[in-house]
């Protein structure tokens, strides 16, 4: 729930200022403070995007609205944040698209294994008819989709051995995001897929509940997962996008002029998220090797063969039109 702060609501006692954050019927001179929570580190593309959005709003809204960022799970994990958006108790968040799958199954279109050959293909889908259709579906659950940023291809870091072929995954417990298609893909490739929310990954590695992690390549770095694993294999088996979201309740409470500013600044913040991933991945191999991680690439063909059947299996859940939009994006 956004807060409105007005000078008439400030009580000053000595050197201490108490800001009484109350909901006003009229705006007057009130400043609207939007609460944005996310569950990632301060150097992650998620936070880079959130910070840029907050900066742009500050520059363009004339003090009428600001964003206060609560990073690193301060307001809850990703699933909780989505639920809070629906209730209107949090105003905005940025979460992996896989988390939304539990609310809108069609988002599994982005999860289709080995779908996108490169980030240009992903960009074309997310910023084309397919991505627009997915964002529009969010309004049915009380959420306004503002846009997509790049999380990147997912690869696997683990403590058992380097991965060169699917057989190397046998017996290894790999954390995958709780998205049915993502879990099915990692299982089909040969691993024991374990669904664990992002905020619990490090403790699961420390407790040896899992042997490794499937995550976005750049997030493997920003979350310092190199401190908890020995090997990193560029499987690039799945693609993940983070989605910039607002509570529909919070958005609709804003005056029209502020709605336009909030929506436009959200869109204008997205390139920073995409650039952050590209910048991190440009030196990722070198940086990981500098941390003592043994890094290798894989021939994707045998891994891809293991998961091809999932496209047909999941098409009824995703919808043929969205699957066709993915195929159209990767054909260009």
**Region 44-51: what's the mean pLDDT?**
98
Residues 6+ apart with CB under 8 A from 16: none
On average, the pLDDT of the chain sits at: 92
At 3, is the pLDDT very low, low, confident or very high (cuts 50, 70, 90)? low
**Region 292-319: what's the mean pLDDT?**
98
**Region 9-30: what's the mean pLDDT?**
36
pLDDT at position 97: 98
How far out from the chain centre does Cα 249 lie?
A: 21
CA–CA separation, 100 and 96 (whole Å): 7
| Whether the Cβ atoms of residue 168 and residue 162 lie closer than 8 Å to each other | yes
How many residues make up the chain in this entry?
332
Residue of higher predicted confidence among 220 and 3: 220
CA-based nearest residue to 307, from 239, 225, 232, 226: 239
Q: Give the rounded percent of residues in the chain with a pLDDT score beyond 90.
A: 90
Cα angle 57, 63, 65; round to 5: 55
Position 16 pLDDT exceeds 60? no
**Region 208-230: what's the mean pLDDT?**
97
pLDDT at position 150: 96
**Region 285-300: what's the mean pLDDT?**
98
**Region 173-192: what's the mean pLDDT?**
98
pLDDT at position 58: 97
Classify residue 229 as exposed, middle or buried by CB count within 10 Å of its CB (0-12, 13-18, 19+): buried
Domains and CATH numbers, the chain: 3-331 (3.40.190.170)
Position 160 pLDDT exceeds 90? yes
- DSSP per residue, 156-217: EEESS---SSGGGGTT-EEEE-S-HHHHHHHHHTTSEEEE--GGGHHHHHHTTS-SEEEEEH
């Amino acid at each position: 729930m956004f807060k409105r702060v007005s000078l008439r609501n400030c009580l000053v006692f000595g050197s201490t200022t108490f800001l009484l954050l109350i909901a006003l019927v009229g705006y007057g001179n009130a400043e609207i403070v939007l609460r944005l929570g996310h569950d990632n580190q301060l150097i992650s593309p998620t936070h880079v995007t959130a910070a840029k959005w907050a900066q742009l709003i500050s520059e363009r809204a004339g003090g009428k609205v600001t964003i206060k960022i609560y990073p690193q799970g301060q307001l809850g994990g990703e699933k909780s944040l989505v639920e809070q958006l629906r209730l209107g108790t949090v105003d905005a968040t940025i979460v992996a698209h896989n988390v939304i799958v539990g609310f809108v199954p069609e988002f599994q279109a982005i999860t289709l294994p080995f779908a996108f050959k490169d980030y240009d293909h992903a960009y074309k889908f997310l910023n084309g008819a397919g991505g627009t259709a997915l964002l529009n579906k969010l309004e049915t659950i009380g959420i306004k989709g503002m846009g997509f940023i790049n999380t990147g291809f997912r690869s696997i870091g683990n403590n058992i051995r380097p991965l060169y072929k699917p057989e190397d995954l046998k017996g290894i417990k790999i954390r995958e995001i709780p998205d049915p298609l993502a879990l099915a893909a990692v299982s089909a490739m040969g691993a024991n897929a374990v669904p664990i929310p992002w905020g619990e990954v490090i403790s699961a590695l420390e407790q040896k509940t899992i042997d490794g992690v499937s995550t976005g390549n750049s997030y493997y770095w920003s979350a310092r997962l190199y401190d908890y694993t020995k090997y990193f294999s560029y499987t690039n088996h799945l693609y993940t996008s983070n989605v910039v979201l607002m509570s529909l309740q919070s958005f609709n409470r804003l005056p029209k002029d502020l709605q336009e500013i909030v929506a436009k600044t959200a869109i204008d913040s997205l390139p920073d998220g995409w650039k952050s991933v590209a910048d991190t991945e440009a030196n990722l191999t070198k940086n990981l090797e500098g941390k003592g991680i043994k890094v290798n690439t894989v021939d994707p063909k045998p891994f891809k063969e293991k998961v091809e059947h999932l496209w047909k299996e999941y098409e009824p859940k995703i919808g043929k039109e969205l699957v066709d939009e993915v195929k159209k994006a990767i054909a260009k």
